[in-house]
Each structure stands twice: as C-alpha cells, then as structure tokens.
Amino acid sequence: MKKYLPVLSGLALLAVCLTSCQTVDLYEKWATMPKQEWKSNFIPSFKFTIKDTTVPYQLYVVLRHTQQYNYNNIYVNVWAKGPQQDSAVNIQQDLLLATNEKGWLGQGMDDIYSHMIKLGDPILLKAGDYEFKLEQIMREDPLKHVLDAGIRIEKTGM
C-alpha cells in the first residue's frame, strides 16, 4: 500500500488543480450590515459586467441573518440598471425566509442562516455594465439581526 501513496497523492493533487482552474460563471457580491442592523437608508450597490450573452442568467438575492431575526420574510426593493438605461427599474420583492412548518428555509450553521432566493426566471442579458441596489422596506427600522445582503448572477443552461 505504501508504494501507491505517492501515486494516489499525485492524483489527488491533479484533481484539486483541475477543479480549481475552472472558470466560475457567476457574479456574487455582498454588503455587510454595520452592527448587524439594516437601516432603511443603507442601500448597498453592486456593479457587474456581463460579457457572455449566449446563455441566460439567473438572478438571486442573497441574505444572511442570525436566528434572532424576527420575521419569516423580508420586503426589499431591488433596483436594476442595465446598459443604455438612463434610470433604474424598481422591483419590489417579498422574500420568504421561513415557514411555520419547516422553520428557516436557508442553510444554517450554528445560529446563522444564509438564503439564496431566485428573482424570477433566467433571462438573457445584454453585454455591458449592470448596477443593482438593495433597499430593505420593512416597518422595523433598523432591521435587526441582518448580517449581509447581496446579489448573485449565475449562468444557466450550460
């Protein structure tokens, strides 16, 4: 068995190199909330450049919060501005984070939960620069126990 260890180690190293050298076809950016509170006047902005227009992209809102978050959902305005657009388009979203039957719907580790919530169906995007802004529009201000919020854009149909 000892004579095979160098071969097995080499194969493991090769497998790591091959998987780590692949390009990742997604964009993901987060904003961290000061003091774990999302104030309504804190509207993080995320800028992405799209080059590949041959495949559709799926848009997501990504969110992390603690177990102490008080609601099953979060209302947000997603502001989107694409190439050759003079102004941003506002898409109001009610994002479901938990149900009474299942509890938190996101991935949990200790008392922190991460959510990746789809925004509609995959769409073809034009090449160019995009800007997204996230605004929380809950009645509670500041919205406590929110750690991070962001945007993820992922290629689909490959």
Q: How many Cα atoms within 13 Å fall on the side-chain side of residue 49?
A: 1
- The one-letter amino acid at 27: Y
Does any domain span residue 10? no
Indicate the number of domains in the chain: 1
Sequential pLDDT tens for the chain (158 residues): 444 434 333 433 333 333 333 344 678 999 999 999 999 999 999 999 999 899 999 999 999 999 999 999 999 999 999 998 999 999 999 999 999 999 999 998 989 999 999 999 999 999 999 999 999 999 999 999 999 999 999 998 75
Does any domain span residue 38? yes
Does any domain span residue 98? yes
Does any domain span residue 9? no
Give the CATH number, domain containing residue 81: 2.60.120
Does any domain span residue 117? yes
Single pTM value for the model = 0.80
Contact 82/128 with Cβ under 8 angstroms?
Answer: yes
Does any domain span residue 88? yes
Provide the 10 A C-beta neighbour count for residue 52: 10
Does any domain span residue 8? no
Q: What is the rounded distance in angstroms from the CA atom of residue 154 to the CA atom of residue 62?
A: 12
Q: What is the rounded distance in angstroms from the CA atom of residue 66 to the CA atom of residue 88?
A: 31
Q: Which domain holds residue 149?
A: 24-155
Helix (DSSP H) and strand (DSSP E) numbers for the chain: 1, 13
Does any domain span residue 77? yes
